[in-house]
Amino acid sequence: MNPRLTVVTAGRVLRQVLRDRRTLALMLVVPVVLMCLLAWIYADGPLFERVGPTLLTVFPFVIMFVVTSVATLRERTSGTLERLLTTPMGKGDLVLGYALAFGLLAVVQGIVVTSISGWLLGLDTEASAVWLVLVVVASGVLGTSLGLLASAFAATEFQAVQLMPATVLPQFLLCGLLVPRDQLPRALELLSDVLPLSHVVDAATAVAQQVQPRGDLATPMLVIAGWIVVALVLGSLTLRRRTP
Amino acid sequence: MTQDAIEIDGLRVTRRGRLVLPGLDLRVPTGQVVGLLGPSGGGKSTVMRAVVGVQEVEGGRVEVLGLPAGHPDLRHRVGYVTQAPSVYGDLTVAENVSHFARLLGVRDPGAAAREAVERVDLTSHAQSRTDALSGGQRGRASLAAALVGAPELLVLDEPTVGLDPVLRRDLWGLFRQLADDGVTLLISSHVMDEASRCDRLVLLREGEVLADDTPAHLLQRTGAADAEGAFLALVDEAAA
B33-37 vs B59-64, strand pairing mode? unpaired
Q: Are A131 and A215 in contact (CB under 8 A)?
A: no
* Residue range A151-196, pLDDT digits in tens: 988 888 888 888 888 999 999 999 998 899 999 999 999 999 999 9
pTM: 0.90
Q: Are B70 and B53 in contact (CB under 8 A)?
A: yes
Partner-chain contact B52 A12, CB within 8 Å: no
Q: Give me the residue from A4, A15, A86 closest to B78, CB to CB.
A: A86
Q: In angstroms, rounded to a whole number, what is the distance separating the alpha carbons of residues B54 and B233?
A: 34
Q: Are A142 and A200 in contact (CB under 8 A)?
A: yes
DSSP string, B1-30: --SEEEEEEEEEEEETTEEEEEEEEEEEET
Q: In angstroms, rounded to a whole number, what is the distance separating the alpha carbons of residues B209 and B192?
A: 16
B59-64 vs B67-68, strand pairing mode? antiparallel
Q: Is B145 on the interface with A (CB under 8 A)?
A: yes
Strand residues in B74-169 grouped as ranges (E): 78-81, 153-157
Partner-chain contact B56 A244, CB within 8 Å: yes
Q: Torsions phi, psi of B35, nearest 5? A: -95, 130
Q: What is the pLDDT of residue B131?
A: 94
Per mean pLDDT, which of A20-34, A67-81, B192-206 is the most reliable?
Answer: A20-34
Partner-chain contact A4 B105, CB within 8 Å: yes
H or E element, residue B218: helix B215-222
- Is the model's pLDDT at B212 over the cut of 50? yes
The dihedral formed by the CA atoms of B182, B60, B49 and B196, expressed in degrees to the nearest 10: 50
Q: Which of B39-43, B57-61, B90-94 has the lowest mean pLDDT?
A: B39-43
Q: Are B171 and B120 in contact (CB under 8 A)?
A: yes
**DSSP reduced 3-state for B211:** strand
The share of chain A scoring above pLDDT 70, in percent, equals 100
Q: In angstroms, rounded to a whole number, what is the distance separating the alpha carbons of residues B2 and A139?
A: 54
Which of B65, B81, B86, B130 to probe by mutation at the A interface, max A CB count within 10 Å?
B86
Q: What is the pLDDT of residue A242?
A: 87
Q: Is A16 on the interface with B (CB under 8 A)?
A: yes
* Residue range A4-26, pLDDT digits in tens: 999 999 999 999 999 999 999 99
What's the rounded mean pLDDT across residues B232-237?
Answer: 86
Partner-chain contact A88 B76, CB within 8 Å: yes
| Residue B59, CB-side half-sphere exposure with 13 Å CA sphere | 6
Q: Give me the residue from A4, A5, A83 closest to B82, CB to CB.
A: A83
Q: What is the pLDDT of residue B80?
A: 95
Q: Average pLDDT over chain B, rounded to whole? A: 92
Q: What is the per-residue burial (b if ≥16 Cβ within 10 Å, else e) of B133-157?
A: beebbbbbbbbbbbbbbbbbbbbbb
Q: Is A2 on the interface with B (CB under 8 A)?
A: no
Q: Is B27 on the interface with A (CB under 8 A)?
A: no
Q: What is the pLDDT of residue B184?
A: 97
pLDDT band at A27 (very low <50, low <70, confident <90, very high): very high
The share of chain B scoring above pLDDT 70, in percent, equals 99
pLDDT band at B122 (very low <50, low <70, confident <90, very high): very high
Partner-chain contact A12 B91, CB within 8 Å: yes
pLDDT band at A226 (very low <50, low <70, confident <90, very high): very high
What's the rounded mean pLDDT across residues A72-97?
Answer: 91
Q: What is the pLDDT of residue A89?
A: 92
Q: Is A243 on the interface with B (CB under 8 A)?
A: yes
Q: In angstroms, rounded to a whole number, what is the distance separating the alpha carbons of residues B55 and B16?
A: 12
Q: Is B72 on the interface with A (CB under 8 A)?
A: yes
Partner-chain contact A86 B80, CB within 8 Å: yes
- Is the model's pLDDT at A44 over the cut of 80? no
Residues of A in contact with B88 (CB under 8 A): 12, 16, 78, 80
What's the rounded mean pLDDT across residues B179-199?
Answer: 89
- Is the model's pLDDT at B12 over the cut of 90? yes
Q: What is the pLDDT of residue B195?
A: 84
Q: Give me the residue from B54, B72, B80 closest to A242, CB to CB.
A: B54
Q: What is the pLDDT of residue A240?
A: 86
What is the ipTM, given to two decimal places? 0.88
Q: In angstroms, rounded to a whole number, what is the distance separating the alpha carbons of residues A213 and B235?
A: 78
Q: What is the pLDDT of residue B1?
A: 47
